[in-house]
């Protein structure tokens, strides 16, 4: 007789909401009439993600382990799930924008039609869109929510794949520059599958060393019998797999290519949501499973954080494409986030956890906003993402330039923006934990990073606009909502972050 | 034959797969090397399950197989779409995105 595992449906409501919407989306795709599909899919995806957001907010304060110990619904899980669904809803709004491009959408009309064929040119301006992107994105959001709540390594692996597989597909579905987009998808897929194989081998080794894959059991086993070679090796491989998803250098090789090649709304989605999910999983793995054997991973994470900050900041200096520059900036930010991960104490206390979660929220909102501005600046060939095309943008459209300048300042961590509060919080956490050399490197890297963000601002405000420069499209309702929300959040989290910091502080307790 | 032999075999297979991913040029072959890595993990899991006397590892191997199958579907679709345009599945030819 097999006993059914205990399932607390109330605690799983956000996940059920999002996965339910995704499954319905697949049915709509199969049976719905084509001309109505776009509107229906957008509505479904928004209802799903916003429903997930509301239900996860209602779960605040929940602390339980459910589904036979496989899922932990605790403060960090709920906080990060709310962050992921909120950012996911904003990204879906960007997906749904149809008024910017004469080609009607950022997504291809029919992905199966070969690039450059007569049929492809015919479909270029067709109103038809590959509406599968909406259920796929919803599945990815569901996978991310599962990822941050996974309390055993197998569920973590399954969630990793559920979030990755749809992302591989939707990054190959751009309407313009399809070759670049497909190339990005191939690179992302091959490297992503490679990294998940490492994660899986790490899982197998940890299973061999401790006889279990539950995070709480691993913690008990390591506390009791110490760590052997197998366990340390397994942990290292797990970290490689997770760091890849979080685009931390030296596992970042895919990031610039995929960020540049993927359709910009998808890039916004990946940059914000995937990072939140991956860091959620890293935090849970390191705090819950390996919190008592800190010495095994601390030097590793310490080193990786330094490499990531330096590589991200220095390579971003040499970029001429804005999307690529933001990709390297995301690598540098992953390093800053790792300083917050370092700032935790073995018992799961310390301010590192709350600081990292706040940073993820602030960074996610700013990044979605920055990529939303990128979709507005266009020339005849789609988005004008080359730096030189942004020269003198403030004269063409003062408002767009001002909004972009705000996001860039926030990414650079200038006071009165959310970026400053986030950076301050993670640096303070690291210093409290005695990791001041790391913070010195982080501050220097921030200074280097500030240079390339400010360079774009100088370019926008103090250069002559080119004769045949890009035009600034008038955003439709979805993009306007995204920009309004992200601008407000960037300012509020910078000027009056107290309330949100308190919430993060209260949420920052893992259930073991 | 002790259980260690199986673990060593799995480690060797994993390494062959990892090296294959790094040196082979055809996207399909690279993908096959990744599948080899996943299957070596299955062997490791089953061996540890046998050593520990529990069934957990064997159940996990099933999960890995299912996920690998899903990955094949997505991966081949992506490789197919780029092949139809370029008439080549070489990862060296996909070189538009750089620097």
- Give the DSSP per-residue string, A57-97: HHTTT--EEETTTTEEESHHHHHHHHHHHHHHHHHHHHHH-
Q: Can you read off the two tokens belonging to residue A442?
A: 């982080």
What residues in A contact B47, CB-CB < 8 Å? 208
Helix or strand run (H / E) with residue B99: none
A313 near A448, Cβ under 8 Å? yes
- Does residue A478 have a cis bond before it (omega within 30 degrees)? no
Cα of A128 vs its chain's centroid, Å: 28
A104 near A382, Cβ under 8 Å? no
User: Does the beta carbon of B79 lie under 8 angstroms from any beta carbon of chain A?
Assistant: yes
For A102, phi then psi, to 5°, come to -60, -25
User: Between A and B, how many residue pairs show a Cβ–Cβ distance under 8 A?
Assistant: 122
What residues in A contact B41, CB-CB < 8 Å? 197, 200-201, 203-204
Judge whether A2 lies within some domain.
no
Q: How far apart are CA B81 and CA B79, in angstroms?
A: 6
Residue A137's nearest CA partner among A260, A243, A52, A252 is A52
Judge whether A3 lies within some domain.
no
Judge whether A512 lies within some domain.
no
Q: Report the Cα–Cα distance between both ends of chain B, in Å, rounded.
A: 50
**The pLDDT of residue A205:** 95
What residues in B contact A172, CB-CB < 8 Å? 78, 81
* Residue A357: exposure state from Cβ atoms within 10 A (0-12, 13-18, ≥19): buried
What residues in A contact B56, CB-CB < 8 Å? 207, 212-213
Judge whether A395 lies within some domain.
yes
What residues in A contact B86, CB-CB < 8 Å? 179
User: Does the beta carbon of B20 lie under 8 angstroms from any beta carbon of chain A?
Assistant: no
Q: Is A366 helix (H, G, I), strand (E, B) or coil?
A: helix
What residues in A contact B18, CB-CB < 8 Å? 194, 197
DSSP conformational letter for A185: H
Q: Would you tell me how many other CB atoms lie within 10 Å of the CB of residue A120? A: 16
Q: What's the CA angle centered on A237, arms A154 and A312, to 5 degrees?
A: 115
Residue A277's nearest CA partner among A90, A92, A168, A149 is A149
Calculate how close chain B gets to A115, using CA atoms only, in Å: 6
Number of domains in chain A: 1
Taking the CA atoms of A75, A78, A81 and A82 in sequence, report the sign of the dihedral they define. Answer: negative
Judged by phi (left if over 0) then psi (alpha if -120 to 50, else beta), residue A98 lies in: alpha
For A73, phi then psi, to 5°, come to -105, 95
Q: How far apart are CA A73 and CA A15, in angstroms?
A: 11
Beta carbons of A204 and B63 less than 8 Å apart: no
CB within 8 Å of A54: residues ≥ 6 apart: none
Beta carbons of B97 and A257 less than 8 Å apart: yes
Q: How far apart are CA A194 and CA B38, in angstroms?
A: 9
A41 near A28, Cβ under 8 Å? yes
Residue B25's nearest CA partner among B90, B75, B79, B76 is B90
Q: Give the nearest partner residue to B78 out of A161, A185, A207, using CB atoms.
A: A185
**Count of helices and strands (H, E) across chain A:** 21, 5
| Three-state secondary structure readout of A260-274 | HHCCHHHHHHHHHHH
What is the DSSP track for A196-215? HHHHHHHHHHHHHHHS--BH
Judged by phi (left if over 0) then psi (alpha if -120 to 50, else beta), residue A469 lies in: beta
Beta carbons of A169 and B64 less than 8 Å apart: no
Domain carrying residue A438: 9-507
A165 near B74, Cβ under 8 Å? yes
Judge whether A1 lies within some domain.
no
Q: Report the predicted TM-score, pTM, of the whole model to 2 decimal places.
A: 0.95
A370 near A407, Cβ under 8 Å? yes
- Mind listing the pLDDT tens digit of every residue in chain A (512 residues)? 677 777 888 889 999 999 999 999 999 999 999 889 999 999 999 999 999 999 999 998 888 888 888 899 999 999 999 999 999 999 999 999 988 877 778 898 888 888 888 998 888 888 888 999 999 999 999 999 999 999 999 999 999 999 999 999 999 999 988 999 999 999 999 999 999 999 999 999 999 999 889 999 999 988 887 668 889 999 999 999 999 999 998 999 999 999 999 999 999 999 999 999 999 999 999 989 888 888 888 899 999 999 999 999 999 999 999 999 999 999 999 999 999 998 876 555 668 899 999 999 999 999 999 999 999 998 878 888 898 889 989 998 999 999 999 999 999 999 999 999 999 999 999 998 888 999 999 999 999 999 999 999 999 999 888 777 888 888 999 999 999 999 999 999 999 999 999 999 888 888 86
ipTM of the complex: 0.96
**The pLDDT of residue A469:** 80
Q: How far apart are CA A380 and CA A138, in angstroms?
A: 31
Judge whether A247 lies within some domain.
yes
Domains and CATH numbers, chain B: 3-86 (1.10.287.3510)
Q: How far apart are CA A14 and CA A80, in angstroms?
A: 12
A425 near A494, Cβ under 8 Å? no
**The pLDDT of residue B58:** 93
Q: Which runs of consecutive H residues, i.e. helices, occur in A6-74? A: 9-31, 34-58
Q: Report pLDDT digits (tens) over B8-19.
A: 999 999 999 999
B82 near A116, Cβ under 8 Å? no
| Smallest CA–CA distance from B71 into chain A, residue | A165
Judge whether A179 lies within some domain.
yes
Residue with tokens 């259920």: A135
Q: Report pLDDT digits (tens) over B38-88.
A: 999 999 999 999 998 888 899 999 999 999 999 999 999 999 998 988 888
DSSP conformational letter for A310: H
């Amino acid at each position: 007789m097999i006993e059914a595992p205990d399932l607390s449906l109330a605690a799983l409501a956000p996940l059920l909401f999002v996965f339910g919407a995704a499954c319905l989306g697949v049915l709509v795709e199969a049976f719905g009439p084509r001309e109505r599909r776009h509107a229906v899919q957008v509505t479904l995806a928004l209802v799903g993600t916003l429903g997930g957001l509301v239900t996860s907010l209602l779960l605040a304060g929940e602390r339980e382990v459910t589904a036979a110990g496989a899922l932990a619904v605790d403060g960090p899980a709920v906080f990060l799930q709310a962050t992921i669904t909120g950012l996911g809803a904003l990204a879906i709004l960007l997906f749904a924008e149809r008024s910017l491009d004469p080609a009607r959408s950022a997504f291809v009309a029919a992905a199966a039609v070969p690039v450059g064929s007569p049929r492809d040119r015919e479909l270029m301006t067709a109103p038809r869109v590959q509406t599968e992107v909406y259920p796929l994105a919803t599945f990815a959001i569901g996978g991310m929510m599962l990822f941050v709540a996974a309390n055993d390594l197998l569920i973590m692996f399954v969630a990793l794949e559920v979030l990755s597989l749809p992302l591989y597909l939707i990054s190959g579905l751009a309407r313009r520059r399809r070759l670049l987009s497909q190339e990005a998808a191939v690179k992302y897929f091959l490297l992503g599958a490679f990294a998940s194989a490492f994660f899986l081998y790490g899982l197998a080794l940890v299973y061999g060393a401790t006889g279990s894959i539950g995070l709480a059991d691993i913690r008990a086993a390591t506390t009791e019998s110490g760590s052997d070679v197998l366990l340390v090796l397994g942990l290292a491989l797990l970290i490689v797999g997770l760091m890849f998803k979080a685009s931390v250098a030296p596992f970042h090789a895919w990031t610039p290519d995929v960020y540049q090649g993927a359709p910009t709304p998808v890039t916004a989605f990946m940059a914000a949501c995937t990072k939140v999910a991956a860091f959620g999983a890293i935090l849970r793995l390191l705090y819950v499973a390996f919190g008592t054997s800190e010495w095994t991973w601390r030097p590793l994470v310490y080193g990786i954080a330094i490499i990531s900050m330096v590589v991200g900041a220095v390579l971003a200096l040499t970029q001429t494409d804005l999307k690529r520059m933001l990709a390297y900036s995301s690598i540098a930010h992953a390093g800053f986030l790792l300083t917050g991960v370092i700032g935790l104490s073995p018992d799961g206390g310390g301010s590192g956890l709350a600081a990292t979660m706040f940073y993820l929220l602030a960074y996610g909102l700013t990044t979605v906003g920055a990529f939303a501005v990128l979709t507005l600046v266009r020339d005849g060939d789609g988005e004008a993402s080359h730096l030189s095309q942004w020269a003198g943008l403030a004269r063409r459209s003062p408002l767009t330039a001002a909004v972009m300048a705000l996001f860039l300042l926030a990414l650079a961590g200038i006071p009165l923006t959310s970026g400053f509060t986030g950076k301050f919080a993670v640096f303070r956490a690291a210093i409290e934990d005695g990791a001041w050399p790391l913070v010195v490197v982080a501050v220097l890297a921030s200074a280097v990073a500030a240079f390339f963000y400010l360079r774009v601002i100088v370019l926008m405000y103090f250069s002559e606009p080119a004769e045949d420069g890009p035009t600034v499209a008038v955003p439709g309702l979805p993009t306007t909502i995204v920009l309004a929300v992200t601008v407000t959040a960037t300012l509020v989290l910078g000027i009056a972050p107290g309330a949100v910091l308190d919430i993060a502080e209260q949420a920052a307790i893992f259930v073991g | 034959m002790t259980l260690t032999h199986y673990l060593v075999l799995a480690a060797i297979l994993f390494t062959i797969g990892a090296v294959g991913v790094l040196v082979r040029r055809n996207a399909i072959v690279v993908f096959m090397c990744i599948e080899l890595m996943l299957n070596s993990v299955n062997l490791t899991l089953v061996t540890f399950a046998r050593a520990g006397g529990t069934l957990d590892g064997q159940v996990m191997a099933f999960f890995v197989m299912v996920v690998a199958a899903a990955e094949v579907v997505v991966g081949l679709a992506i490789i197919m779409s780029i092949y139809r345009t370029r008439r080549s599945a070489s990862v060296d030819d996909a070189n538009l995105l750089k620097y």
